[in-house]
Structure 1
Amino acid sequence: MDAASAALPVSSDALLAQLTEWGLSYTLFTHVPLRTVEEAKQVEAEMQQPGVSSLKIKNLYLRDRKKRNYLISVEQDREIDLKALSKEIGSGGLSFGSSDRLMQNLGILPGAVSPLAMITGVDQGVTFYLDAAARQVDVINMHPLVNDRTVVMARDDFFAFLERIGCDLHWI
């Protein structure tokens, strides 16, 4: 485990061990650190399985003017208009949360934002929204709390993860 992962409240290895203990399957890929959608697209081909539909996501950690925190996970090529998103989720004045708040509320560093961070976010009151496109896919690609790894997890196993940690799933 590297120093960055060791500093997390829940390490990537601990998360993966928990998924395994719960009987949730995934395929783990290790790669160069990815910070942008463009970088992710460079390594996605090796993760694609023939005949399996996947959702490749980008993740936004946002805060509103009432200091409520949100994790928004959408299809990676989806355009995001923060004003329209504010209306859609019924929250005014959305802006990006700071790296300090990201660590405090999701237990991760910038560049590693992931729905799997809700393992910490649930206890911090973070509200999670997922792209409705997830209803139509077989698997979802996400970082396991660090950005030099990606897990490809069956949609139903991901939903079971959310249920296990007590995370309410909101659709967008």
Structure 2
Amino acid sequence: MRGEAGLMEDLRELGIAHAVHEHEAVFTVEESRAIKTDIACLHTKNLFLKDAGGAFFLLTVPAEARVNLKGVPAQIGSKRLSFGKAEDMERLIGIKPGSVTPLAMINAEPDSIKLVLDAELSGDDAVGVHPLRNTATVTLAGTDILKLAERWSHKPMVTELPKLEA
């Protein structure tokens, strides 16, 4: 697994504009609210999921979105979804719960997990994600998240994930 050092190397090699913001450890969207005011970006949350057929998915969505998990399988071509286990997360993407990030795809074998990025996060606006640890936030364009995933031999999916009403 290439880890954070490999991530930073790839950001430099690809010339991807980014900023790293160090902060206290945050484990939930609720805890991250305190740091959001200091970091100008689209904030995110990530869902590590497994479908009834055994396939794994990593969904990255806007932080405040309430994803309709019952509607997601039809949207992404999967079977019924449930949350993945911590040991599967560590085995597949090399990180622990609380540090989930689309950038963990650097550690994933091709075709071992499908990255799904909500369409709202896929443009040129700055998106905030963890750099494989929950004590920092990296801001970079959503298009650059996709570029990195492709560099690591993944085929990310961009789609408007179904959401519940607020």
TM over 0.5, shorter chain: yes
Tell me if 1:47 matches 2:59.
no
Q: Secondary structure at the match of 1:113?
A: coil
TM-score normalised over the length of structure 2: 0.87
Show the counterpart of 1:30.
22
Show the counterpart of 1:140.
127
The code of the aligned residue for 1:12 comes to: E
Q: Is the 2:26–2:98 Cα contact (8 Å) retained in structure 1?
A: yes
Matches within 5 A, 1:3-152: 9-48=1-40, 54-123=41-110, 125-152=112-139
The code of the aligned residue for 2:4 comes to: S
CA distance in 1, matches of 2:124, 2:15: 20
Provide the aligned C-alpha RMSD in A: 1.6
TM-score normalised over the length of structure 1: 0.85
Q: Which runs of 5+ in 1 are unaligned?
A: 1-8, 49-53
Q: Which runs of 5+ in 2 are unaligned?
A: 160-166
CA distance in 2, matches of 1:118, 1:129: 11
Q: Secondary structure at the match of 2:110?
A: helix
The code of the aligned residue for 1:70 comes to: F
Whose helix proportion is higher, 1 or 2?
1
Q: Is the 1:24–1:161 Cα contact (8 Å) retained in structure 2?
A: no
Q: Sequence identity of aligned pairs in percent?
A: 31
Deviation at 1:61, TM superposition (A): 0.5
Deviation string, structure 1 residues 106-127 (Cα, Å, up to 9, x no partner)? 1111100000011122435211
Show the counterpart of 1:154.
141
Deviation at 1:156, TM superposition (A): 3.2
The code of the aligned residue for 1:10 comes to: R
Deviation string, structure 1 residues 67-111 (Cα, Å, up to 9, x no partner)? 100000111111122211122222122111111000111111110
Q: Secondary structure at the match of 1:46?
A: coil
